[in-house]
Amino acid sequence: PKTDIVFLKVHKSASSTVMNILFRFGETHNLTFAFPRGGGFQLYYPYHFLARFVQGFSPHSPRRFNILCHHMRFLQPEVQKVVPSSAVYFSILRNPVQLMESSFVYYKGASAFSRVRSLEEFLRQPQRYYDPTRGDRHYARNLMTFDFGFNPDGDVSPERVQLMLSAIEASFDFLLISEYFDESMVLLKEMLCWDLDSVVSFPLNSRDSSTKSSLPDSAVERLKAWNRLDWEIYTYFNRTFWARIERDIGGERLRRELRALRARRAELARSCLQGTGSVGPKDIKDSSLRPLQHGGARILGYNLKQGLEQELERTCRRLVTPELQYSSLLYKKQFPPAHP
């Protein structure tokens, strides 16, 4: 199994669920994480990543960390200073239409969104509300492009787009697609040589459907034009994703692996969870399992069954522990507080 990993955690793309998978694998195998300095939750995002943002990094020591997976704005030469040269690089993408709808609800306080009532209203005259000089502009335009380290207001000429796609392809070993999450997990398992239980998960940081809305076709077309760079990234790597699956796994094995993955997830849900699955924030009984609520989104969580055997309880708890709580727990393990 591969143990040196860089995961670019792209915003609003099922990346918290992937992060939970990496946290569990790292914890099980006693791997080290490149944590943000001081135990924060982002690597000084939205600034481009620098090695010195990582707790315990020193330019004078050759120390490397196994897993880098917290939010960052990608800058490969700096990333290479904190992980081994053998690290596998991957990320996950989401259809820009759904991504922007999610971003609008989640980052409602962002300067570009704060004066409009709806995403449709914003898309009718984006230039009126969007200020490219504001530090939070990226939440409102080409968010994936920004996370990959590029300019979200950049030129959309075919030559520039091709340069950007080539640069991403040169840096990353593979990219997953959040709309095809289970297929992505089969590919992840294949690329990292992991076992099934390592890639099984429950959806984390997902929104209650009452806060989701669909856009009319006219708004969708405007959204694609406004997020043209994201759209180019998504459509190109969606194609390469299926080509990779066809080449490395094949249709027959993919169907077999999907059945196994879904059966195992259903089995764990029956063993671990109260009720039929996720619940609203008010209904989460254990406050340590309550995810951070942000913007206008209602972020769902889980209730564990009571009286589980110790080993199973531990497995179940890890599967449903929200990102911030899990990150803090692993940080304290890796950097135990000094006793007075």
Residue 335 lies in a domain: no
Q: Structural domain of residue 212, as residue ranges?
A: 5-330
Burial class (CB within 10 angstroms; exposed 0-12, middle 13-18, buried 19+) of 50: middle
Give the pLDDT band (50/70/90) at residue 179: very high
Calculate what percentage of the chain has a pLDDT beyond 70.
100
User: What local confidence, expressed as pLDDT, does residue 249 receive?
Assistant: 98
Specify the pLDDT at position 293: 87
| pLDDT the model gives residue 117 | 94
What mean pLDDT is predicted for residues 60-82? Answer: 96
Q: What is the pLDDT of residues 260-295, one digit of tens each?
A: 999 999 999 999 999 878 999 999 999 999 998 877
Q: For the chain, what is the domain count?
A: 1
Q: Label residue 316 by pLDDT band (50, 70, 90).
A: very high
pLDDT above 90: residue 211: no
From its phi and psi, is residue 171 left (phi > 0), alpha (psi between -120 and 50) or beta? alpha
> Which pLDDT does position 90 carry in this prediction?
98
Answer yes or no: is 340 within a domain: no
Least confident of 15-29, 84-98, 288-302: 288-302
Look at residue 295 in the predicted model and tell me its pLDDT.
73
**Looking at residue 61, what is its pLDDT?**
86
> Which residues are 177's β-sheet partners?
93
Q: Is residue 139 part of a domain?
A: yes
Q: Of 171-175, 183-187, 213-217, 234-238, which gets the smallest average pLDDT?
A: 213-217
Q: Which CATH number does the domain housing residue 122 bear?
A: 3.40.50
Q: How many CB atoms lie within 10 A of CB 133?
A: 6
Tokens representing residue 133 in the block: 């000089």
Q: Is 337 part of any domain?
A: no
Q: Give the pLDDT of residue 205.
A: 84
Q: Is residue 301 in some structural domain?
A: yes
Q: How far is CA 56 from the centre of its chain?
A: 24
User: What is the predicted pLDDT for the residue at 213?
Assistant: 79
DSSP letter at 157 equals -
Q: What is the pLDDT of residue 45?
A: 97
| pLDDT(150) > 90 | yes
Per-chain mean pLDDT for the chain = 95
Handedness of CA 312, 316, 318, 321 (dihedral sign): negative
Describe the crossing of helices 228-248 and 158-171 by its angle, rounded to 10 degrees.
Answer: 40
Residue 151 lies in a domain: yes
Whole-number pLDDT of residue 283: 93
**Closest C-alpha to 287, from 316, 314, 325:** 325
| Percentage, residues of the chain above pLDDT 90 | 91
Domain assignment present for residue 252? The answer is: yes
What was the pLDDT predicted at 275? 87
**131 lies in a domain?**
yes
The string of pLDDT tens digits covering residues 134-143 is 999 999 999 9
Mean pLDDT of 93-115: 94
Q: Omega before 46 cis (within 30°)?
A: yes
